[in-house]
A = this chain, B = another copy of it.
C-alpha cells in the first residue's frame, strides 16, 4: 500500500508516520519511485502498535523505543521482555517521600510478597512504584499493616497466573507485538474496570431503600 493508505488505515497523519520512519521505529518501505515507497501489513501493524502505546498506553517515545527494541530482539526471553515493558510502564515516577515512610512501606510489601512465596525482583521499577504508592497511602490513612494489601494480592494472584499462561502461549507463537499490547492494555482495562466496579458499589451504597439499579446495566 502507499503512504496515503498507510495513513488512512493506521489513523496516523502522514507527517507522524514519516517521523517514525526517520526515527527508525518503523522499517523503511520498498522504494518504487524517486519519492514513493510501498508498505505492507507489517508496517501497518507496527504503526498501530506505536499508536496504541502512545495514546491509550500513555507511553513516551523513549519508552516505546525501548519496548520496540525488545520486541525486535529474538534472543530476548519472555521474562526479559516483560521486564522491559515494566520498566517503561513504571519508571520515572519520582516519589516525594522520605526514606522513613518508604522503608516502612517496603517492609509491608516484603512481608506480603513473602507470605505468598512470590519470586520477584525487589529492584524493579514496578516494585519501586509499589513501594512509593503504598507509602503515600500509609502517610494519609495512617500506619497500615500487611492486611491493607491482602485484597489486592488476592485480586492479582489468580489473574497473574492466567495472564502469564496467555503470554507464554503468545510467545510460543512468536507474536511479541501482541504480548506487549496485552501487557499494556490489560493494565488500562484492569484500572478502568476497577473504577467501574467501585462506581457500581458506591451507587448501591448511596441509594435509599426502594431505589436501585436499572434492570440491566445501562446509562446510569
Q: Which of A82, A118, A152, A197 has the most CB of B within 10 A?
A: A197
**A72 close to chain B: CB less than 8 A:** no
Which single member of B134, B198, B206 contacts A183 (CB below 8 Å)? Answer: B198
A145 smallest CB distance to B (angstroms): 15
Binds B, one of A20-28, A29-37, A136-144: A136-144
Q: Roughly how many angstroms separate A20 CA and B119 CA in the complex, as a whole number?
A: 42
From residue 116 to 160 of chain A, which have CB atoms closer than 8 A to chain B?
116-124, 126-127, 129-130, 132-134, 136-137, 139-141, 149, 151-160
Contact B82 A189 (CB under 8 A): no
How many interface residues does A have (CB within 8 Å)? 103
Q: Which residues of A does B touch, CB under 8 Å?
A: 10-12, 45, 48-49, 51-52, 55-56, 58, 77-79, 82-83, 86, 89-90, 93-98, 110, 113-114, 116-124, 126-127, 129-130, 132-134, 136-137, 139-141, 149, 151-165, 167-168, 170, 177-178, 181-183, 185-206, 212-214, 216-220
Question: Would you mind naming 22 contact pairs between A and B with Cβ atoms under 8 Å apart?
Answer: A11-B98, A12-B96, A52-B139, A78-B206, A79-B203, A79-B206, A90-B195, A114-B217, A117-B217, A118-B197, A119-B199, A119-B213, A120-B200, A121-B220, A133-B186, A133-B189, A137-B182, A151-B163, A156-B190, A161-B201, A187-B191, A190-B194
The 3 closest A-B pairs by CB, nearest first: A160-B197, A119-B213, A164-B201
